[in-house]
Amino acid sequence: MKQAFVRKSWENESRKALKSKKDQKNIYQVIVRSGRNSIESDLNIKPKTTVLSKNETSFADSIFIHTTDESDVIAASSKKDVIAVIRKPKMVPMGFTGEIRGEPAYFPSLLQTCNVNQTKTQAGIVDSVGNSTINVNGKGTLIIVWDFVPGESSSLSISEFTEREGGGMYFYQNGSNAIASHGAQVASIAAGKSAGLAKGAALALLGLSDDIFQDLSIIESLIEAFKGPVLINMSFGLEWENVNNQIEIDNINRFMQFASQAVSDIKLRYPKTLFFIAAGNETQNMCDTLGTLTYSIGNTTKTKMVIWPQFERNKSSPFVSVGATTVRQEPPTRKISIYSNYGDCINFFAHGGPICGWDTDFSSFKATQGTSFSCPIAVSIASLLFSAYPSKSASEILDIMNSSATDSVTGQYSGDTTSKFLQLPATLNRETGTEPPKNNDLPGDILSGSVELEDNKNSPLNEARDEFKIPLIITGVIILILLLLLSFQFFVKRNNSNKI
């Protein structure tokens, strides 16, 4: 089995590069087959193009460039070993709190501050659990929330994450520029002390970085370290807007195909791993979308859009896609939310809000909504099932989820959309003859206020530091010797001139 790795090869810190990084709309990622180290010289970079940085990962190498010359992008995409050249996408969370879309649910109101008692009995969990008797808590499984992260890790040092049955939460900031409370809310709903369903699962929050392949390599490293069932929650989308030409569409399609294949490869190597995605909040059918989509959300028009991973390219997608329903006091109690995406690539529906999760911006439980928050309910259900049936594979767990789901969702926008609402089986006990589950340790320490992946000596990100530490020391010694020689030569010349 190949070893997952991430190496920060180099970063351009020149004045020109620092200035170029501020112009986000003209930054491109050149994705190259892993280990093709000569590619920089092969790109034939022109004067209008600045190379910003390069990452090396077990899936692909990425060279980030800034250019205003479209011909450079076209030329780079045609080079041997180049998989795709993509314009930097916009990272979008699949949840929102700023507006009420559709009829409000009976509990609670959007942006309402939820007290602990409300949070423990919130509608999403109650509706998914139903009348089930649950004697497992997710222990023996790992939930990775790959998402937006708070700017300060200290905002996560609260009992919702530090006093969980499964132990404290691991926090890997990962150099993420996706800064928001969103990931903390998702983690809280999946496995938090009060809001979560899988309270006994190991929990990790991984920041969404600019390089998907860097993130996937880190995820694979965490899966390898945990050595048990792992559920990855992806409540985000990468958006490209105004995709106007076929060359760009082709490049984005190649990126999406390669990224999804990387996910499939991880699942193949680790058969107790599942990736769950939020279906999206655009009220669109994104299944089998081969081109772009133009649509309106409220008063905003989105033009010629492409979104990963929500755009499904084939029926063998590696993701479990989760749509959202809104729970109401009066029937129909499980009607599809007005914002939820739909189509035959949606696997399940779960309660999408309003739902309570820990909001680091307000330092309290707040009500929010979106497929972002139906997704962690599906993840937590899978965690409980794996905790009860640790010998089963991911496909067998999905079979149980399918058989226990009820055909009770109404209001679908297309006839090919599933009506399956996720629920737990009536009784959930640990299967006989299995060892009591345990949570294995991950790289790094449990969150203590400022722990990040980069601070951990065992981190895959630190391979670069170890790899280049000795060459840097040698280089420094050589420079010092040269300086001493120059100083000695100057001293000798000066003495000779004084003698004359």
Could you give the strand order of the β-sheet that contains 49-57, starting from the edge strand earlier in sequence?
6-11, 49-57, 60-67, 27-33, 82-87
Which is it for strands 6-11 and 273-278: parallel, antiparallel or unpaired? unpaired
Where is pLDDT greater, at 251 or 6? 251
- The pLDDT of 476-480, averaged and rounded, is 75
What is the predicted pLDDT for the residue at 450? 33
For 308-340, the DSSP string reads ETTSB-STT-SEEEEEEEE--SSS-TTEEPTT-
What is the predicted pLDDT for the residue at 466? 40
Rounded-to-integer distance, Cα 111 and Cα 91, Å: 23
Please say if the pLDDT value at position 98 is more than 50: no
Least confident of 33-37, 76-80, 294-298, 307-311: 33-37
What is the 3-state secondary structure of 178-207? CECCHHHHHHHHHHCCCCCCCCCCEEEEEE
Which tokens is 478 given? 């050589």
Rounded-to-integer distance, Cα 450 and Cα 300, Å: 38
Where is pLDDT greater, at 434 or 216? 216
What is the predicted pLDDT for the residue at 457? 36
Where is pLDDT greater, at 434 or 9? 434
Report residue 354: phi and psi, to 5°: -60, 145
- The pLDDT of 214-229, averaged and rounded, is 94
Which tokens is 490 given? 């100057």
Where is pLDDT greater, at 85 or 412? 85
Least confident of 27-36, 61-70, 107-116, 433-442: 107-116
- The pLDDT of 357-370, averaged and rounded, is 89
For 409-433, the DSSP string reads -B--SSTTS--EE----SEE-PPTT
Q: Which long-range contacts (CB under 8 A, 24 or more apart) does 473-482 make?
A: none
Which is it for strands 230-234 and 273-278: parallel, antiparallel or unpaired? parallel
Where is pLDDT greater, at 67 or 489? 67
Are 289 and 319 a contacting pair, CB within 8 Å?
A: no
Report residue 55: phi and psi, to 5°: -115, 145
Please say if the pLDDT value at position 475 is more than 70: no
Give residue-wise pLDDT tens across range 235-244. 999 999 999 8
Give residue-wise pLDDT tens across range 249-282. 999 999 999 999 999 999 999 999 999 999 999 9
Give residue-wise pLDDT tens across range 141-198. 999 999 999 988 888 999 999 999 999 999 998 889 999 999 999 999 999 999 999 9
Please say if the pLDDT value at position 435 is more than 60: yes
Residue 398 burial by Cβ neighbours in a 10 Å radius (0-12, 13-18, 19+): middle
CA distances from 125 to 107, 129, 341, 409, 421 (A): 12, 6, 21, 16, 13
Rounded-to-integer distance, Cα 106 and Cα 354, Å: 9
**Buried-state track 332-358, b at ≥16 Cβ within 10 A, e below 16:** ebbbbbebbbbbebbbbbbbbbbbbbb
